[in-house]
Amino acid sequence: MKDTVKPQIKNLPVYETGKPIEYVAREFGLDPDNILKMASNENPLGASPKAVKAVLDHVSGLNYYPDGTCYNLRQKLAKLWNLKPAQFVFGNGSNEILEFIAQCYVDKGDETVFGNQSFIVYKLATIFAGGTCVGVEMPGLRYDLDRMLDAVTEKTKIVFITNPNNPTGCVLKQDEIVNFVKALPEHVLFCLDEAYTEFEDSQVDLRPLIAEGRNVICLRTFSKIYGLAGLRIGYSYSNETIAGYLNRAREPFNVNSLAQVAAVAALDDDEFVSRSRRINKEGRRQFEKAFQEMGLQYFSEGGNFVMVKVEDAPGKFVEMQKRGVIVRPNVGYGLPDWLRITIGTPEQNQRCIQELKNTL
Ligand SMILES: *Cc1c(COP(=O)(O)O)cnc(C)c1O
């Protein structure tokens, strides 16, 4: 058989997800109930209880196709954000919207710019669309916006920034991002991935730039603070023109019906969101204190995770799995000495800290 697949598919790096609990249980002969996953920035408190109730209330409608326009969610978000309903696009996770963006804007020979230690999906989506990736160094695990700007050329179609960044957790302020966007040439689309922004006390707001007509799109997800990663739902807001293009790349029923009702309910669950935020802040302090006591270098700023530097991090990753704790190595991000740990409940954090100590 002649292999006629497109060259970019052959060269596509594989996205290594956080290791599922069942895999680790099988591989190391452990009881899945005793395994702690702190690898994919999932919410340790579970899902928003209001969302869970909404899902249970709607299971009887599974024979119907979902609403392809996400009408209820769209109306709710439009009110919440004070934007027009047509400015939103919904995806099977915000990952899918990243794919739409690359499919719509990137062609062969086009470039995208993003941080070397930033979410790998920007790279995958670019390569899949036939484009060229321009990775920018992140000294000290932080964005260097001057370097990002220097990397922009006539060929640049998209600049991606994650704030707070995954995997490093660095945070950019409103002014820094706004000035950066204003300095970008007009032919560049700026994509702000806000997957972790709800964990922050003050959030960046690019709606004024969108209203000014700038090429800006912002991405949100229900996977993190709302605890709905398993349902797969996220959205973008931009001007209506950009939203219209992305909708053409979208499969008509890309967001399932349970995800839609869960998302609507989750937006009303202020109690769950503030509890998630509080647990996260407390857990961050717990990890920071433990790392200090252990004399380990760490990076802890935004998001729902911390980074810690250890000798032979990939080895420690395996050792910790044998002890039933799954964390995330960062070899693929060029950070072979660092582990990323999702902040959990106080008990989970304590167990993780103890098992890390045991492997040192
Ligand atoms: C988790 C995450 C997302 C959201 O992914 P979903 O597809 O919505 O689950 C997007 N961007 C970054 C940087 C993330 O870490």
Supply the pLDDT for residue 37: 96
Percent of the chain at pLDDT > 90 equals: 96
Higher pLDDT, 200 or 18: 200
Taking residues 82-88, report their average pLDDT.
98
> What pTM value is reported for the model?
0.97
Q: Bridge partners of 192?
A: 161, 218
Full set of structural domains in the chain with CATH: 7-46+270-359 (3.90.1150.10), 49-266 (3.40.640.10)
Percent of the chain at pLDDT > 70 equals: 100
- Nearest residue by C-alpha to atom 1 in ligand 1: 195
162 CA: nearest ligand 1 atom: 13
CA distance 131 to 35: 40
Mutate to test the pocket of ligand 1, among 100, 124, 191, 193 (most ligand atoms within 8 A of CB): 193
Taking residues 104-108, report their average pLDDT.
97
CB 91 within 8 A of CB 234: yes
Task: Answer whether 234 contacts ligand 1 (Cβ < 6 A).
Answer: yes
Supply the pLDDT for residue 12: 86
What residue type is assigned to position 47 of the chain?
A: A
Indicate the average pLDDT of the chain: 97
Q: Which two tokens stand for residue 31?
A: 């009881």
- Does pLDDT of 7 surpass 90? no
**Band of residue 346 on the pLDDT scale cut at 50, 70, 90:** very high
193 CA: nearest ligand 1 atom: 11
96 CA: nearest ligand 1 atom: 7
Using one digit for the tens of pLDDT, what is the confidence trace for 35-65?
A: 999 999 999 999 999 999 999 999 999 999 9
Taking residues 264-288, report their average pLDDT.
98
**Band of residue 14 on the pLDDT scale cut at 50, 70, 90:** confident
**Band of residue 15 on the pLDDT scale cut at 50, 70, 90:** confident
Between CA 140 and CA 148, with CA 142 as vertex, the angle to 5 degrees is 120
- Nearest residue by C-alpha to atom 12 in ligand 1: 195
**Band of residue 142 on the pLDDT scale cut at 50, 70, 90:** very high
Mutate to test the pocket of ligand 1, among 224, 228, 328 (most ligand atoms within 8 A of CB): 224
Supply the pLDDT for residue 28: 94
Taking residues 133-147, report their average pLDDT.
98
Task: Answer whether 162 contacts ligand 1 (Cβ < 6 A).
Answer: yes
Supply the pLDDT for residue 233: 98
Longest dimension (CA), the chain: 60
Task: Answer whether 229 contacts ligand 1 (Cβ < 6 A).
Answer: yes
- Does pLDDT of 306 surpass 90? yes
**Band of residue 122 on the pLDDT scale cut at 50, 70, 90:** very high
CA distance 228 to 230: 5
DSSP 249: H
DSSP string, 237-249: E--HHHHHHHHHH
Supply the pLDDT for residue 18: 84
- Does pLDDT of 310 surpass 90? yes
Helix, strand and coil in the chain, % to nearest 5: 45, 15, 40
- Does pLDDT of 8 surpass 90? no
**Band of residue 17 on the pLDDT scale cut at 50, 70, 90:** confident
